[in-house]
Amino acid sequence: MKQKILHTPEGVRDIYKVECRKKLALQEKLHHVLHLYGYHDIQTPTFEYFDVFRKEIGSISVKELYKFFDREGTILSLRPDITPSVARAASALYEIEELPLRLCYIGNTFINHSRYQGRLRENTQLGAEYIGVDSKDVDAEMLAMVVDCLRQSGLENFQISVGNVGFLYSLMKEAKLPPEYEEHLRQLISNRTYYGVTELMDEANVKPEMKELFGHLPELVGGPEVLDKAMAIAPNELAKRAIKRLKDTDEILKAETVQKYITFDLGRSDAYGYYTGVICRAYTFGTGDAVVKGGRYNHLMEKFGKRAPAIGFAVIIDELMNALARQHVQISYEENAAIIVYADSQRRQAISLAKEFRARQNRTELFCNKAKESLDYYIQSGKQNQAENHIYLPENGKTEMINLKTAERKTIGQKKEEEQS
């Protein structure tokens, strides 16, 4: 006899009842923030042609993609990241829509992490992409949106680490590193493995003055003052432009009154190779990974045949849910739920009452008490399902109403019976 499979594959999980309702409520809140900034929804396919995420695009490593063939033998891939899909779609919209485009989305992504990492392989992302403008104002708007999203979720203790890949890129060019060393160096810096950076510099015979510049990277983390330090050691015009862009963005963030959430990190790098300018990651207590990732990608759309600057970010909903739970931050949502338990003879009245409740937008569950279960059984069931009201319609016609939040009870029909007796 074939054994039934009751569990999920490694790296994915079921979400149901209260947890699922909270997740949907959180997504709805953050989605509303994006709409308030004027962003319009876009939906892209869960899987794309493999070329949309190939190595040259700058997404994740090919070995971490979920790849498969269709019937015609075409290689397809589950999306590991929604930004390339939006860039592809925006390239098609380029001919019929006026720029700039403000697009937002909610969707699941799939990354084939090593089982030893213990990470989810399916995550929900909510994000925004601003396409068609390269300016400090747009950079600042994106960072302000990240702050608004996290505050709307209920978080107060978080920091957004902001850098500019142009600064690191300028250092690597000045060091005249071969391409294969550049990729390895970027990974080392992204993982904060600075002793590995020193070893790589020695191996590549980098000039002592450049080794010294890279040695300053761990110190270039903090408030706006680190931008002045970085400007003082910037080796070329490209590095200075990158720092100036951050300083200009910081001035705008003052007006947004979000500076207390911003930390500048000039050693900030990213696994995604398509970023070209400002990049950010948001961190908080209770999770080992970033709850928000984003940055500017001015050349990504060129991979799909169009040229337009762009910037975006994605909230990793599952990571954010973990952080909120561990910080004991409650996700509020309107339930307005009721449970109606009725005897066979009260079926018509129960159905009529349920219709009336649902017309008022109250979630209502009906139960026919054929098994003659106790009232406490249904009360406990209602509490587990976050219901607010319990209504019991027994054979004797005495309708009993119980507020499951306050335990207040009210019986309808009893007074009339007492008067008759």
Q: List, for residues 174-200, the tens digit of each pLDDT value.
A: 888 877 787 788 778 777 787 788 888
The CATH number that applies at residue 359 is: 3.40.50.800
DSSP category for residue 8: P
Mean pLDDT of 70-75: 95
Residue 133 included in any domain:
yes
- Sheet arrangement for strand 262-265: 40-41, 101-110, 122-131, 310-316, 292-296, 278-284, 158-164, 262-265, 221-222
Q: Looking at the predicted structure, is the pLDDT value of residue 207 above 50?
A: yes
Q: Looking at the predicted structure, is the pLDDT value of residue 148 above 90?
A: yes
Higher-confidence residue of 28 and 57: namely 28
Cα gap 326→84, rounded to integer Å: 32
Mean pLDDT of 110-122: 83
User: CB neighbours of 283 closer than 8 A, spacing ≥ 6?
Assistant: 158, 159, 160, 161, 290, 291
Cα gap 297→308, rounded to integer Å: 9
Q: Looking at the predicted structure, is the pLDDT value of residue 94 above 80?
A: no
User: Is this prediction's pTM over 0.75?
Assistant: yes
Residues 216-262 pLDDT 10s: 888 899 999 999 999 999 989 999 999 999 999 999 999 988 999 99
Same domain, 136 and 265: yes
pLDDT range class, residue 421, cuts 50, 70, 90: very low
Evaluate the CA torsion angle 172, 175, 179, 184 in order and state its sign: negative
Q: Looking at the predicted structure, is the pLDDT value of residue 89 above 90?
A: yes
Same domain, 114 and 147: yes
Residues 122-140 pLDDT 10s: 999 999 999 999 999 999 9
Structurally, the chain folds into a number of domains equal to 2
Same domain, 289 and 349: no
pLDDT, averaged across the chain: 88
Q: Among 274, 298, 326, where does a domain finish?
A: 326
Residue 66 included in any domain:
yes
Higher-confidence residue of 133 and 3: namely 133
Higher-confidence residue of 151 and 402: namely 151
Mean pLDDT of 109-119: 82
For 300, the token pair is: 């990504």
Question: Quick one: which H or E segment has residue 358?
Answer: helix 347-359
